[in-house]
Chains A and B, each alone.
Chain A
Amino acid sequence: MPQYPNRQFLDFEAPIKALYEEIEVNKSLAENNSNVDYTGIVKQLEDAIIAKREDITANLTSWQKVQLSRHPDRPYSLKYFSKIFDDFTELHGDRNVKDDKAMVGGFASLDGETVMVIGQQKGINTKMRQVRNFGMANPEGYRKALRLMKLAEKFNKPIITFIDTPGAYPGIEAEERGQGEAIARNIFEMMRLKVPVICIIIGEGASGGAMGIGVGDKVLMLENTWYTVISPESCSSILWRSWNFKETAAEQLKLTSDYMSQFGLVDGVIPEPKGGAHWDYDLAAQMVKDYIKPLLAELKEIPAAKRIRNRIDKFGSMGFYDEA
């Protein structure tokens, strides 16, 4: 986790940055004045930072939450794999075309119990962002994910997916290799998986690209994430005919975790550390772990056929319409 001064701050996080700068000033004053005690004031400022973190996230607009979900310091799938589980053992490739670096997965141990973990992965620096294709998987990424899910099913291991994507990649080769078919196939097959499936949106949950690993007995969202059918930017460009209405689009789409939970489209919201998951990776991972462990135990009690039927019925009840 990056520490100040390597942290990055969003516009609305500027007051936190100002407090960090004040701490630095006091620290350098302390170095030059050994007879004055600065620890009290530094401690005060550190507390003020935590309070400010909480303060800021309590009053975010939908668009600001979207920005937070894309925070460059935010933990990605592999970070959660390493902090929630032991012995993460990565598996590669779709056995057909290639190994998609935007989709990662493998066996991992949840307090001694083997599970299959799968997720989109974004890069942590400029070079890796290219390698990971900004978390936008190609069809082979979805097929790799499906291969791992079928492997888990074969050996009766629960599946936990971590969703964080701005969308499935829109490219020529992606279309040639059937991006739509790959996502459709995954949704279809996930619906029938005989093992428990938990899906967690840890950042961006953009449309079919997210849904391609998003069918679960329990679908959860981290507090500062979004999940809907289109990004606010694209929605603005199509419905408002301009890129300038992304804030309005974000409000209209009601895409944040509180709305999604209220609508019954997700099964729960996992809280994040004050100010967002990027402030404390260990705590963020612990909060996810604490949330999913009892859920998994609960799901394992249900017979497979019943679990599948529940899954089909849960999604089957989603939608609004009038019936004359």
Chain B
Amino acid sequence: MATEKSKQFDDFENQIAGESFVEGITEEQRTKFFSRNEKGITTGTNEKKEIPDGLWVKCPECKYTSTTMELKENLFVCPSCNYHHRIGSDEYFDILFDNKEFTRLFDNIKSKDFLNFVDLKPYKKRLEDYWKKSDLHDSLSVAVGNVEGLPLVVACMDFEFIGGSLGSVMGEKICRAADYSLEHHIPLMIVSKSGGARMMESAFSLMQLPKTLGRLSLLADAGIPYISLCTDPTFGGTTASFSMVGDIILAEPKALIGFAGPRVIKETIKKDLPEGFQRSEFLLEHGFLDAIVDRKDLKVTLGRFLKHFKN
């Protein structure tokens, strides 16, 4: 169990360091399961690499093996133990929006290496590699559509893109999503899935906290609901900003959610962390979540909230 856990920490930190693509995606790290399927929307430039339906996927929790088709039908939740596999923005949009119909917004905003940041690899090169190997523009996508018949703007992270890290593009897109909500009087939801700050953007990354919260305060003034959904993992800059100030804060089961990463805490206090520490159930118990929602109930639950806000 200890090695399992530390393996998990390694994956977590490698992703934040933006290494998953460089070292090749392992089965457990893979978050993309199926292709974009937007009705009535043309996104000519995006040719998706589809994973064959017959591929076998092993559940990292219970080792149950299922086909991708079986998993897809089950919304990427393990049929045996209810483990919620990490999925990306395309999958969430398909799961949430009625008839899988939605309009993508602000895809024209791209990251840039303003600081000429070089660690083991230049940030510029890192970005180029991601753009080459993935059809994602950055670590957050925005779309608008109907959920149970009511309009909702959804800003959703992709852990696959540099660990879902919070940089200038995520900050700007969240602000524009909020502006869109404000302009059209549509509630906003942010789906968080992030290891934390994009270190390669240094202080610019940190400034996305006040930047996004400033915009969300305008939504609050206008009485427009803001829902936060925390998924595995939600950490650092996201937790210390928009993820934790929702009018409603939801989480998927067993998602790892916290401010400081588990390894940092462990090294600081020099003690083992309690079982279930920083999991959704732990946060619910301590009063930081409104509810834990299974992925299969997510759409209906959101619909209920949207109705309550409206009526």
Contacts and interface: CB of A to CB of B under 8 A. Distances in A.
A12 interface: no
A229 B215 contact: no
A317 B240 CA distance: 20
Instruction: List 10 tightest A-B contacts by C-beta distance, closest first.
Output: A180-B239, A170-B260, A319-B168, A312-B214, A180-B259, A320-B114, A239-B119, A208-B240, A179-B259, A318-B207
A45 interface: no
28 contacts: A168-B259, A176-B282, A179-B260, A184-B209, A184-B242, A185-B245, A187-B240, A188-B216, A188-B245, A191-B210, A191-B213, A208-B237, A211-B206, A227-B206, A229-B199, A229-B205, A239-B120, A260-B203, A315-B211, A318-B168, A318-B208, A318-B211, A320-B112, A320-B201, A321-B110, A321-B169, A321-B172, A323-B108
Contact of A170 (B16, B112, B264): B264
Interface residues of B, number: 66
Interface string B153-184: 00000000000000111011001000000000
A192 interface: yes
Interface of B: 13, 16-17, 108-112, 114-115, 117-120, 167-169, 171-172, 175, 197, 199-211, 213-218, 236-237, 239-245, 258-261, 264-265, 268-269, 271, 273-274, 277-278, 282, 286-288
Interface in A237-254: 238-241, 249, 252-254
A174 interface: yes
Given A172-B274, A181-B288, A230-B197, 5 more contacts: A208-B206, A229-B201, A252-B202, A318-B211, A321-B110
A179 B240 CA distance: 8
Contacts of B242: 184
Contacts of B215: 312, 316
Contact of B213 (A172, A184, A265): A184
B260 A175 contact: yes
Given A184-B239, A188-B217, A207 B197 contact: yes
Interface string A181-198: 101110110111000000
